[in-house]
Amino acid sequence: MATVTEPVTLPALSSEEMARYSRHLILPEVGMEGQQKLKAAKVLCVGTGGLGSPLALYLAAAGIGTLGLVDFDVVDASNLQRQIIHSTKDIGRPKLDSAAEKLQALNPFLNVVKHETMLTSKNALEIIRPYDIVADGTDNFPTRYLVNDACVLTGKPNAYGSIFRFEGQASVFAAENGPCYRCLYPEPPPPGLVPSCAEGGVLGILPGLVGVIQATEVIKLILGKGEPLVGRLLLVNSLDMRFRELKLRKNPDCPVCGSHPTVTELIDYQQFCGIVPEQKVASMQNGIPQISVKELKQRLDQGEKVFVLDVREPWEYEVANIGGHLIPLNDLPRRVAELNPDQEIVVQCKSGGRSQRAAEFLARNGFDKVQNLTGGILAWSSEIDPAIPRY
């Protein structure tokens, strides 16, 4: 039986908390000590989408003390068919803000930690380390393998769930002496071999079923009660409403959790999954590549070192800016030495006109990694961050 948290002293419950959790307290399998264990527990939900929604809501309701959330997406209308933590009014908002608000409203005793980032090989270990258990509710193979490897390397169990159309899979991976995701599937399918969810669709209630199974496993692991889904793969078919169970074995030759592991640190999971960076045919204007605000945001979010050069006037910068380095267009010739010709520079202005001229000037002066931000800060305001004032 797996027990995850065995703190020396468990946190006490206030009288309000006792009233809230009374139905747990009278259950012998939970009781006061179990409820205190839940309060002491720190759980990381990777993704606040279809699986993450019911998972996080039920964990919050159950009295988990600290719930970390990882997401960098914004709520889209097409999410609402299954991502029940988000509401119609949240369309366009960061999922993290929307989710944190609902969780906090449900349970004010909960400590929500927001990680507004994409989980990457660079940050995964650091993000996961403070938590006791990880619940993987992501939606793509690179992140699945990343979460698995990071859990094995940090010794955290992973309550796993995934869905396709009307079928789901759930298990607990990387528990002590249990198999990991790579024991089951050593390698991901090459891109394109399996039809995507975008082609296949997904039944809206299915992540509800599977996400609640993940939440159940998290709670059992914390309480140290019941039979955890370790070494078992639960198959859910919502169309036939059949649940089946398959035996999973720890692979002694597993590259991550086997007796002679070959993967001892996080790797490049995009490459591992055969995903070649998109070869973009950049639209050009007068020899200057044009970059969209969405692409710039994505690259900044991924931690790429892109230098944003703002060529507007200081008063405009004061009204609204996205943190770029300010050199007004007319000052550029005499201040060009402030810029590093080896660095990738994205030039930005109000709507893309002045920045194009600035980029052409830089290109003539030996800067060959210069791009122009299409639509300027106005496009940023309308497509990325409505909080940026339009003027």
> Got the DSSP string for 17-55?
HHHHTHHHHTSTTTHHHHHHHHHH-EEEEE--STTHHHH
> Minimum Å distance from CB 255 to other proteins?
11
- Binding to other proteins by CB under 8 A, coded x per residue (else -) over 197-236, reads xxxxxx----x-------------------------x-x-
Closer CB to other proteins, 187 or 304, in the complex: 187
165 near other proteins (CB under 8 A): yes
192 near other proteins (CB under 8 A): yes
Provide the 10 A C-beta neighbour count for residue 25. 17
Number of DSSP helices (H) and strands (E) in the chain, helices first:
16, 14
Closer CB to other proteins, 102 or 144, in the complex: 144
91 near other proteins (CB under 8 A): no
* Residues in CB range of 301: below 8 A, 6 or more apart: 72, 117, 118
Considering only residues 126, 176, 185, 386, which one is a binding residue for other proteins as defined by CB under 8 A?
185
* Residues in CB range of 212: below 8 A, 6 or more apart: 54, 55, 58
> Got the DSSP string for 307-364?
EEEE-S-HHHHHH---SPEE--GGGHHHHGGGS-TTS-EEEE-SSSHHHHHHHHHHHH
CA neighbor of 301 nearest in space, from 87, 63, 73, 50? 73
> Minimum Å distance from CB 202 to other proteins?
6
146 dihedral zone (left: phi>0; alpha: psi -120 to 50; beta): alpha
> Minimum Å distance from CB 198 to other proteins?
4
> Minimum Å distance from CB 259 to other proteins?
17
CA neighbor of 344 nearest in space, from 354, 334, 359, 329? 359
166 near other proteins (CB under 8 A): yes
129 near other proteins (CB under 8 A): no
Residue 349 annotated to the active site? yes
Asked if residue 67 lies in contact with residue 103, where contact means CB atoms within 8 angstroms, the answer is yes
- Binding region for other proteins (CB under 8 A) out of 222-230, 240-248, 290-298, 343-351: 240-248
68 near other proteins (CB under 8 A): no
- Binding region for other proteins (CB under 8 A) out of 17-25, 42-50, 215-223, 365-373: 42-50
List the end-to-end C-alpha distance of the chain, in Å, as a whole number. Answer: 61
Asked if residue 4 lies in contact with residue 221, where contact means CB atoms within 8 angstroms, the answer is yes
Side chain identity, residue 362: L
What does DSSP say about strands 307-310 and 345-348: parallel, antiparallel, or unpaired? parallel
Closer CB to other proteins, 164 or 361, in the complex: 164
**Which residue out of 45, 151, 197, 257 is catalytically annotated?**
197
171 near other proteins (CB under 8 A): no
Number of residues located near other proteins, criterion CB under 8 A: 55
249 near other proteins (CB under 8 A): yes
- Binding region for other proteins (CB under 8 A) out of 109-117, 125-133, 192-200, 323-331: 192-200
271 near other proteins (CB under 8 A): no
- Binding region for other proteins (CB under 8 A) out of 20-28, 112-120, 188-196, 369-377: 188-196
188 near other proteins (CB under 8 A): yes
Distance set, CA 355 to CA 294, 309, 315 (Å): 17, 9, 17
Closer CB to other proteins, 5 or 143, in the complex: 143
- Binding region for other proteins (CB under 8 A) out of 45-53, 349-357, 366-374, 377-385: 45-53
Closer CB to other proteins, 51 or 346, in the complex: 51
Residue 197 annotated to the active site? yes
Place of tokens 């300027």: 376
What is the token pair recorded at 271?
């490459």
| Secondary element (H or E) of residue 16 | helix 15-20
Interacting residues with other proteins (CB under 8 A)? 47-52, 73, 78-79, 83, 136-141, 144, 161-167, 169, 184-202, 207, 233, 235, 240, 244-249, 275
The catalytic site residues sit at 197, 349
